[in-house]
Amino acid sequence: MGIYLNPGNEGFKSAVRSKIYIDKTGLLEYTNSVLDTEQRYICVSRPRRFGKSIAAEMLVAYYDKCCDSKELFGGLKIAKYKDFAKHLNQYDVLHIDVNYFRGQSATGMETVDNIQRLVIEELRENYPEGVSTADCKLPVVLTKINQKYGIKFVVIIDEWDAIFRENKNDETAQKEYITLLRGLFKDAPSKKFLKLGYLTGILPIKKYGTESALNNFDEFTMTNPRTLSEYVGFTEEEVVELCKEYNMDFEEIKRWYDGYSFEQTKHIYNPNSVVKSMLDGECNNYWTSTETYESLKNYISMNFDGLKDSVIEMIAGGRCKIDTNTFENDMVSFQSKDDVLTVLVHLGYLAYNKKTQEVSIPNEEIRAAFIRAIKKSNWNYVIESIVASDELLKATCHGDEETVAQGIDKVHEANTSILNYNNENSLSCVISLAYYNAINEYTIVRELPTGKGYADVVFLPRKGSDKLAMVVELKWNQSEQGAIEQIKKKEYGKALAEYSGNLLLVGINYDKKSKKHGCVIETCEK
């Protein structure tokens, strides 16, 4: 066993031995199906701590011909598939962790040089008759080994995009690195020596113009994970089972770590955070504690028209349309707010809905990260609205209609350049921002189906809360009393099947002429 060539299965053994291991070996069924085909070029991009490296270790352990992984995989999902034994420990594997090489190098160019030099040294030791001391280009060496011995390689590159992320302004190193990758995966000789090419990273493959630098790769990204969506993170079924095993409140776990949704898998959870919450027995900001709020602050503070508007709308619980196609898949070529929001999707700070082409803040963990970044960005008008939300909630619970109306006026006035009113939806964003801290005691549902329509905003008390449920109906340039009557007429309260107790009915109207809000609050039986 070597360091880069056939490194063995110890890395994956460590993952399987862990207190919590979720079986994602079904991914191997897909990789087996594309071996030696035109689809053997795979690039998987995910945020940090979403299991990319564990998946790479799994592929190494499964394909590496210098170890015996039959017992390791025997009880896992892949063992049930017909081609399990056919490909198990049958191939030469090259495993290159680009972050490791960056840590041993002073510059981007030195990183690229060290990758080739050190991997070639190990190949020379194993195939002395196929590699000469003069050989210094890795694709050439693999071609010569293939010609001499007939060997094909599984090439796995973990954190493939590290040079683009960390040496973001070193164009010379980036071009040299892309040249290396093209030699390994794109140029004609590579078709003879490559069994499978598997890249993992945070960013999709770098674009030059409108085309990927390695356009023969099938890319599975946070904007379009396609058939591999269930391997992005933990599925809802997997999280439900963990909650049962560790006696955790599933709804609370869902609030904190769910929110990534794809066409083929509707609920994906942050795996690192779920595992840590189970082991600690509490929900917390686990994943974002590994990130720097400074980077998020820098992104959301970029001077692009409409960017702040979109961030505040999402903080208030809304969604924003974006075009992900303009993003050039690097950390410097930002031309618009769409590019910034797209990189935040790839970093895991935003969830993307491909069908509606909208982004949103996925969960409580990420919501907290945005608030910390906004505090560092000195968006005082937003922070003041959030701080005041506690008093607004108290006033609502006490039926203080005048204070509630005045409080909403202040939030609107402070953010008027961002949350411009033109309909009830924009009013809904202001209400969500005004009641921001209510999420600590309520589950807040916008547009709740009731059978006779949709309740604009419903506040359902969390377990242990002594608060009354609230149904809020919004009107734009109509009347607050009319909003209350609509709640009663359409019997919105009956939609709260699991809640028993009195209801607070809250009608809020924005008068276009006076530019003021009106509020009516009533208590009634459900």
Amino acid at 517: H
pLDDT at 423: 61
- What's the whole-number mean pLDDT along residues 111-133? 95
Question: So what CATH class is 10-220?
Answer: alpha beta
pLDDT tier for residue 303 given thresholds of 50, 70 and 90 = confident
Provide the residue type at 482 as one letter. G
CATH 1.20.1250 holds for 382-525: no
Q: Do residues 270 and 348 make contact, with C-beta atoms less than 8 angstroms apart?
A: yes
- Give the residue carrying structure tokens 């190193």: 173
The pair of three-digit structure tokens given for residue 342, joined into one six-digit string: 């797209």
Separation of alpha carbons 289 and 363, rounded Å:
15
- 494 Cβ partners below 8 Å, 6+ apart? 450, 451, 526
Within 10 A of 114 (CB to CB), how many other CB atoms are there? 15
Q: How much is the pLDDT for 421?
A: 63
User: Residues 203-227: pLDDT tens digits?
Assistant: 999 876 656 778 999 999 999 999 9
| Strand 153-158 relative to strand 358-360, pairing | unpaired
Q: Which two tokens stand for residue 140?
A: 């050439």
Whose CA is closest to 243, among 231, 257, 232?
257
Q: Which long-range contacts (CB under 8 A, 24 or more apart) does 239-247 make?
A: 239/269, 239/274, 242/20, 242/22, 242/274, 242/278, 243/278, 245/278, 246/278, 246/279, 246/281
User: Is 334's pLDDT higher than 70?
Assistant: yes
Any idea where the domains of the chain sit in the sequence?
A: 10-220, 231-287, 289-354+362-376, 382-525
What's the number of CA atoms in the CB half-sphere (13 Å) around residue 466? 1
Of 215, 142, 214, nearest to 182 by C-alpha is 214
The crossing angle, in degrees rounded to 10, of helices 108-126 and 171-185 is 30
Per the model's pLDDT, the better-predicted residue between 427 and 367 turns out to be: 367
Instruction: Name 223's Cβ contacts closer than 8 Å, sequence gap at least 6.
Output: 324, 342, 345, 346, 352, 354
pLDDT range class, residue 3, cuts 50, 70, 90: very high
Instruction: Count CB-CB contacts under 10 A for residue 59.
Output: 23
Arithmetic mean of pLDDT, 355-365 = 95
- Residue 123: per-residue pLDDT: 96
**Residues 438, 432: Cα–Cα separation, whole Å:** 9
